Structure 1
């Protein structure tokens, strides 16, 4: 039987004890945890700015921030495409029909409707209706409310 160095074994025990303590702390603040002792966890409040947000610094938080940056870049690309293929109106705004935009943008990305909804939520574009559907809404005008350069800033 192999003989183990007591300090190596003590180090492994300490490492696992630390992991156990970290896990316990996470479970105590987890609103869905059924662990005993989790009664001191923070009460959820929808007005809390951290509500429905991942714990800062976690991989979920990092992935979420990366995804947000990727979506912002795609919205920027959409605005550039609208500027490029749209028609400038007398008031200076740029308008493109959904059908024309779909034909061009579908070669770039298959997420046009989602990006349009995101851009509308950010007040970068305007169009009528809740959702746009290929063929049915090809005649719906999409108006650019800001230039791509203004949106980037």
Structure 2
């Protein structure tokens, strides 16, 4: 059966369909639900189209997409109240707890020493520990010791020589707790 004969068959079938007034109540309810489906689909489509206008990664080239420029307050920040913002806050809280825990471990296993080596009393004292010893104790707590050390140094809570500490190579590097 060719394509033309299929079209003819469909057209003949459509002519045989009775008028909606001839349907029973069940059939009328079916046509109403199909109308509802169409309206729901159109509503979803309109909402999605509106959402895509604000999505900087969509291929929608309409000019109403507002992207903050460098130097503006919200540049590089997720929209306020979004799930992304909440995940960022949660991550920040988690990392802060890990930094505090690292400082507590250094206090517990480290040795107090004079800050400048001048013996000027308890005010000029800091706590130090070798990286190898810290690594051996901290490995049971977390596998992110170096990352947490870098974060603590950025917050000026600890100090150590070099940019990065490597297990084995830097086992004798001294990590100093500043606060």
Q: TM-score range by the shorter chain?
A: 0.7 to 0.9
Matched, 1:101 2:134: yes
Q: 1:62 aligns with which of 75, 86, 96?
A: 86
The 5 A counterparts of 1:32-71 are 32-37=57-62, 39-71=63-95
Query: In structure 2, how many angstroms separate the alpha carbons of the residues matched to 1:52 and 1:67?
Result: 17
What is the aligned residue count?
144
Matched, 1:142 2:175: yes
- What is the deviation of 1:10? 5.5
Structure 2 residues without counterparts, runs of 5 or longer: 1-25, 115-123
Q: Which residue number in structure 2 is paired with residue 112 of structure 1?
A: 145
Structure 1 residues without counterparts, runs of 5 or longer: 147-153
Matched, 1:121 2:154: yes
Q: Which residue number in structure 2 is paired with residue 30 of structure 1?
A: 55
TM-score, with structure 1 as normaliser: 0.78
- What is the deviation of 1:118? 0.8
In structure 2, relative to structure 1, the CA distance for the partners of 1:16 and 1:129 (3 Å cut) is farther
Indicate if the aligned counterparts of 2:68 and 2:74 stay in contact, CA closer than 8 A.
Answer: no
TM-score, with structure 2 as normaliser: 0.68
The Cα RMSD (Å) is 2.6
The structure number with the bigger radius of gyration is: 2
> What is the CA deviation profile of residues 38-69 of structure 1, one whole-angstrom value per residue up to 9, with x for unaligned ones?
x2323432222322222222222212211111
- What is the deviation of 1:23? 3.6
Matched, 1:79 2:112: no
